[in-house]
Amino acid sequence: MPGTTTPARSWISAATAGDRRRWVALVVVCLGQLMIVLDATIVNVALPSIQRDLRFSQANLTWVVDAYLISFGSFLLMGGRLGDLVGRKKVFLGGLVVFTAASLLCGLADAQGLLIAARFVQGLGGAVTSAVILALIVTEFPAPSERAKAMSVYTFVAVGGGSIGLVLGGVLTQSIDWHWIFLVNLPIGIAALALGWLLIDETEGIGLREGVDVLGSVLVTVAMMIGVYAIVTSSDAGLGSAHTLGFGGLSLALLTAFGVLQTRLANPIMPPHVLRLRGLLGSSAVRGLLVTGMFGAFFLGALYFEHVLGYSALQTGLAFLPQTLVVGVLSLGITAWLMGRFGAMRILVPGLALMTCGLLALAQAGTHAAYFPAIFIPLLLTGLGAGISFMPLLTIAMANVPARDAGLASGLVNVSMQMAAAVGLAVLGVIATHRTKTLLAGGDAPAGALTSGYHLAFLIGAGCVALGIVVALVVLRRSAPAAAANPRDP
């Protein structure tokens, strides 16, 4: 009858509303991810202002960055597993509350100790939030074609947010004040909290009835904290120093004890069967090698632009725009279509090859390099490589993970990125510094010595990404999802 809603029409209307909710919820979780990615880089351009205002020594200033890295890297696995146990929406929103509140404390900080402590808490909130984001995406988008589109959005935020952070940090620091690099998180965090509460569906947790692996949680968190501490302080203490080796060895010992414990518990925080997922572990290894090269180019490239080419903080951020924009363009659906048409492996390997070429080209830029083509082309190539590679790696990682372990797998994916970034930057930074000091001692000009050090780091980064191609071909070939059944489906 006219004016009567049929059951079929009601079902279609409800399905359409549910579909719209999922995509808006994706935007919400990506807002949370954007805050976290921005915060990892936005601070770098403001460090000189923070140092002058709060009277930091050069040694103590590094703790503004290190405090965040240590807590972020330490709590990822615990945050991911907590989402599996009690529900990922609760953990995501709880992490946002902690991150946003800590951002306010950072913005109001008027003393060194308060800022460092607030940065540590901010890293904790960021870890708990980001640890469950991939699991939320996988749960909300089970269909391969939709998941590919959702992963495209996540990839753009995760990869492009760093460059946006450099630009935004330069603008806020130069035009207003360094406090605003933290206060800008408040409206984003509040909006993400409100929308997340309304739009994200809660996943049913495994529950706490079988007990919580408290000892395992403590062991892995302390081990990660000590390990990240050893890494981030190695640039000052030295990679082969007793300090670095001692804390690194203690971290490995605790991780070994953690591994033994997990095989003896009925409800471990790290179920052993997760470590037998070839796609998850293999893609994590490739991602770690990729991130080593990419973050090396990102952070050491920023130093090269500023210290050798004389770019300002804002100019440095703008210089990375080709990389960010090409990732954005690919994330509009191009990479998802390519992966649906050809399969994950057939676009992953060319993507890694493009990034390798970009790093090799960047290692040729001299002390007076013009932005175009010496800088523009390498950054364009690395952007193409990142935009093509990250989504296949994420898809392979999560393809065969049981739904009950998706949070833990999401945490492992983030751990592989964060640990690779920390280790890679520490090692490449030490190598670049050693090369520069050697050349300066031999009488080379400062600009040439710095450039040579950065070039060596870029070459090693290119080697790491090239090794990632080998690992992908050997380990991931049988784990990658095949091309979509309908190649014309975007």
DSSP, collapsed to helix, strand or coil, labels residue 469 as helix
- The alpha carbons of the chain give a radius of gyration, in whole angstroms, of 22
User: Going by C-beta distance under 8 Å and a sequence separation of 6 or more, which residues neighbour residue 17?
Assistant: none
Which structural domain, as residue segments, surrounds residue 191?
Answer: 20-206
Of 316, 465, 313, nearest in space to 386 by CA? 465
pLDDT of residue 474: 92
Contact 181, 43 (CB under 8 A): yes
Domain boundary among 175, 206, 237: 206
Per-position DSSP letters for 394-448, written without gaps between them:
HHHHHHT--GGGHHHHHHHHHHHHHHHHHHHHHHHHHHHHHHHHHHHHTT--HHH
Question: What pLDDT tens digit does each residue of the chain (490 aa) get?
Answer: 444 555 444 434 444 555 788 888 898 998 888 888 877 777 777 777 788 889 887 557 777 877 887 788 778 878 887 888 888 899 999 999 999 999 999 999 999 999 999 999 999 999 889 888 888 888 888 887 788 788 888 877 876 676 677 677 767 777 778 888 888 889 989 999 999 998 888 877 766 665 567 788 788 888 877 887 887 777 677 778 899 999 999 999 999 998 898 888 877 878 888 878 888 899 999 999 998 888 778 778 878 988 899 887 678 778 888 887 888 788 777 888 898 889 899 999 999 999 999 999 999 999 999 999 999 999 999 989 988 998 899 889 888 888 777 777 877 887 777 778 777 877 888 788 889 989 999 999 999 999 999 999 999 999 999 999 999 999 987 666 654 434 333 3
Could you tell me if 292 and 381 lie in one domain? Answer: yes
The confidence score (pLDDT) of residue 163 equals 66
Match 């400062």 to its residue by tokens: 446
Q: Are residues 258 and 282 in the same domain?
A: no
Cα distance between residue 1 and residue 8, in whole Å: 14
Same-domain pairing of 74 and 194? yes
Same domain as 233, residue 166: no
- Within a domain: 4: no
Q: Report the domain count for the chain.
A: 3
Secondary structure (3-state) at 53: helix
Structure token pair of residue 461: 């980064």
30 and 127 belong to one structural domain: yes
Residue 9: inside a domain, yes or no?
no
**pLDDT score of 166:** 67
Q: Based on the fold, state whether residues 184 and 105 are members of the same structural domain.
A: yes
pLDDT of the residue at 373:
94
Token pair 């509009």 is found at 332
The letter for the amino acid at 449 is A
User: Are residue 173 and residue 253 in the same domain, yes or no?
Assistant: no
User: CATH number for the domain including 59?
Assistant: 1.20.1250.20
**Is 6 domain-assigned?**
no
Residue 349, both tokens:
């390997």
Would residue 11 count as lying in a domain?
no
| Residue 218 and residue 200 share a domain | no
Final residue of a domain: which of 172, 206, 240? Answer: 206
Residues 182 and 259 in one domain: no
Q: What is the dihedral of CA 276, 279, 282, 287, to 10 degrees?
A: -140
146 and 231 in a common domain: no
Q: Tell me, what's the pLDDT at 419?
A: 74
Q: Is residue 46 part of a domain?
A: yes
Whether residue 186 lies inside any domain: the answer is yes
- Going from the C-alpha of 51 to that of each of 42, 43, 62, 189, 232, the distances in angstroms are 15, 12, 10, 26, 19
Q: What is the pLDDT of residue 180?
A: 86
